[in-house]
């Protein structure tokens, strides 16, 4: 038989295209085989999460045995110790507590907020919760005429002449036309965050804020405020949407309404607490970290089940599933339960400081802090210098995730992982269906019975699937 060297130039020329075609076919076959392997492993992740998940019973214990976990509280400390003990049972490579000093605000006795002396309705209560970080009222309470505003322009036009000695009532609802409810929240939450100081600038003595929810109900929704120390610190409370509607109606009918407020909240000295951390060490690139996490603290009105017990338990279960499947990651996979997201972000800031001090690189960080509802996908963010390149690569994963209803989009990530942005890794926020989230957010209605087991487990699987792809292919 003739060998290749003995063939004519023309024969060799004819053979080259066949070699190229054969090589391309081999490459395509390898790629198809690799995709099949990825799809099969992702299927194993989902099967494990849906038949052997622990996130739901863990969340039951956290919600019903420990309860709310405001920074500095006994509940927060119990949650730290219990989650550490659970991570210790997973045979991880490392589990530790990262110390952090946190704000310690306490609500005190139940708020008293009521309309007094209405001509038509007499005296009636307004369901209310003090905003986190608010000062209390004087011992005898505050009683003053109420002025309703729906925009900053209205507030500024009234200025000191119309607001001195009054209680400002911010009544700008979340926009129901926004399909993305987080966009509606973002369009209204400024009045809760900054309303007290902007009213105090004009001499107001207190503030009431319509709760941040699209639902009409009688659950007031708390949340943090941000005082400007330039102005007097005045008490601020959220009232339920039903109470806001009623107060607005009485103002329209009668023109002048007096409200009495008594709040016993106060800020105590900072208290010691911890971020809770566990990890599986990477076999090839242990210095590169892929983080999954949520915030362990919660407001003091409900169980903090969706916000953010769900995200914490999902993150813990991601590591457990990898251990159960015998998966050896290339990069270090780390679960972080951050402390103090709700009223200070001290845990997220401390974690980033320590990571920088240790010279760690966070290849990717995924935060679950949007509730335990049906998975819809992930949004991504990052430093401008590298984000476009990273997102293009991650977008190639979408065909493997689409069978599970997941879409990958550009957008935000999460408050706790935000301080890691300077490391120039990829930041991601887990995005479940958001339509019911603000029905419960920061209210006494955020309880364990509002969590669906299957939806929660699907979220765990979705996060684990993305971690697997990031770990295998990197950025």
- What's phi and psi for 286, nearest 5 deg? -65, -20
Distance CA 238, CA 236 (A): 7
Q: Name residues whose C-beta falls within 8 Å of residue 35's C-beta, 6 or more positions apart in sequence.
A: 399, 400
Cα angle 247, 248, 249; round to 5: 90
Sheet holding 258-262, edge to edge: 122-125, 112-118, 258-262, 142-149, 167-170, 206-210, 236-239, 128-130
Active site residue 341: yes
Contact 113, 261 (CB under 8 A): yes
Contact 267, 133 (CB under 8 A): yes
E strand or H helix that includes residue 242: helix 241-254
Listed in order, strand segments (DSSP E) in 281-360 are 285-295, 331-338
> Out of 341, 342, 367, 457, which one is annotated catalytic?
341
Preceding amide of 142 cis, omega within 30: no
Tokens, residue 271: 């208290």
Q: Which residues are catalytic?
A: 341
């Amino acid at each position: 038989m003739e060998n290749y060297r003995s063939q004519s130039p023309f024969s060799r020329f004819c053979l080259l295209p066949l070699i190229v075609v054969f090589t391309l076919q081999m490459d395509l076959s390898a790629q198809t085989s690799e995709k099949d392997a990825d799809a099969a492993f992702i299927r194993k992740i989902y099967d494990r999460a849906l038949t052997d998940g622990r996130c739901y019973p863990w969340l039951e214990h956290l919600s019903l045995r420990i309860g709310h976990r405001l920074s500095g509280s006994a509940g927060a400390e119990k949650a730290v110790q219990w989650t550490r003990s659970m991570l210790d049972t997973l045979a991880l490579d490392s589990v530790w507590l990262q110390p952090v000093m946190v704000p310690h605000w306490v609500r005190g006795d139940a708020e008293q907020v009521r309309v007094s002396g209405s001509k038509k309705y007499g005296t009636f209560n307004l369901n209310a919760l003090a905003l986190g970080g608010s000062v209390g009222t004087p011992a005898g309470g505050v009683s003053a005429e109420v002025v309703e505003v729906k925009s900053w322009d209205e507030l500024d036009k009234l200025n000191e002449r119309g607001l001195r000695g009054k209680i400002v009532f911010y009544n700008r609802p979340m926009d129901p036309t926004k399909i993305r409810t987080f966009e509606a929240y973002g369009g209204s939450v400024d009045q809760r965050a900054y309303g007290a100081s902007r009213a105090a600038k004009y001499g107001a003595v207190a503030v009431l804020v319509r709760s941040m929810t699209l639902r009409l109900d009688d659950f007031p929704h708390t949340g943090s405020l941000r005082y400007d120390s330039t102005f007097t610190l005045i008490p601020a409370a959220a009232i339920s949407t039903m109470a806001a509607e009623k107060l607005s109606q009485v103002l329209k009918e009668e023109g002048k309404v007096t409200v009495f407020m008594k709040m016993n909240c106060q800020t105590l000295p900072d208290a010691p607490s911890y971020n809770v951390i566990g990890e599986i060490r990477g076999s090839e690139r242990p210095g590169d970290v892929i983080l999954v996490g949520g915030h362990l603290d919660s407001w003091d009105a409900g169980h903090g089940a969706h916000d953010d017990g769900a995200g914490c338990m999902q993150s813990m279960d991601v590591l457990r599933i990898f251990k159960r499947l015998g998966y050896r990651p290339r990069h270090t996979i780390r679960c972080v339960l951050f402390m103090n997201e709700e009223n200070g972000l001290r845990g997220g800031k401390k974690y980033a400081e320590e990571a920088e001090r240790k010279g760690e690189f966070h290849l990717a960080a995924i935060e679950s802090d949007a509730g335990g509802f049906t998975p819809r996908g992930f949004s991504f963010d990052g430093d401008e210098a590298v984000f476009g390149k990273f997102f293009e690569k991650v977008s190639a994963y979408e065909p493997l995730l689409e069978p599970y209803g997941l879409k990958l989009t550009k957008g935000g990530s999460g408050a706790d992982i935000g301080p890691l942005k300077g490391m120039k890794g990829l930041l991601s926020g887990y995005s479940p269906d958001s339509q019911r989230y603000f029905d419960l957010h920061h209210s006494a209605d955020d309880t364990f019975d509002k969590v669906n087991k299957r939806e929660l487990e699907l979220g765990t699987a979705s996060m684990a699937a993305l971690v697997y792809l990031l770990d295998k292919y990197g950025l």
